Amino acid sequence: FLFWHKRYKLSYNLSFMELKEKVVLITGSSLGIGKASAIEFAKEGAKVVVTYNSHKKDAEKVLKECKKLTDAIMIQLDVTKMDSIKNCVEKTIDEFGAIDVLVNNAGVLVEKNLLEQSFDEIKFGLDVNLTGLINMTKIVLPYMLEEEGIIINIASVAGKRVKWPDVSIYTASKFGVRGFTQCMAKEYEGKNIRFYAVNPGGTATQMNNFDGISPEKVAKVIVKTAKENLGKKSGDDVDVPDYL
């Protein structure tokens, strides 16, 4: 499984990450923030991996937009299944030879009082938002170790302060995403991989009943995070409202 393509090595301390020709894999990129991010990275000349779980037609539209601007491929990905994660990463490496930027964006929200949620709903929320993100990171990391990589975990302002009821599992998962990001930064301190937690507020996506700021504005912050020109260090939060 760990088949390596040698490429040029980059220096560790980059004030600005040049995204042109970099390979960017975005989980959950058929809709919402993921879709907007795929197109925004394509505008930068990055090679984009568009992934989808069930919204294939939407993903095909995103792929078409990306391919007008850059090289791009589309891969089916269910972050709750290890075989699907491994298949996605292997196909990306086979096609592009590397993964320079991973954006762990896939997420779900069940808006119910805890007592109203089934155990299956609780497990699904944690599997997509947190466990899947961790597993995706674990599978991608070996391909980044010999070169340079950036991992951007999409958390939420709900993972920093509790403002709403009936989203306990979502909130817990996003607190977990931020904690995972901070710990990974410690584990890889001094290495050539950096980790960031991007925290959107209310965003006009299907998950949020299309109420809030545009996904395109969030995507621009995600791209700036990947460029590393926001003055942040590995493990830091990037709170989207601060950049609007």
Catalytic option among 170, 188, 196, 243: 170
Single-letter amino acid, residue 77:
L
Q: Residue holding tokens 């975990």?
A: 153
CA distance 101 to 166: 33
Q: Half-sphere exposure (CA, 13 Å, Cβ side) for 22?
A: 25
CA distance 26 to 40: 12
CA distance 192 to 217: 28
CA distance 237 to 225: 10
Q: Is 170 a catalytic residue?
A: yes
Look at residues 34, 8, 31, 131 and name the one whose alpha carbon lies nearest to residue 80.
131
CA distance 151 to 6: 20
Token pair of 25 as six digits: 């894999």
Residues annotated as part of the active site:
170
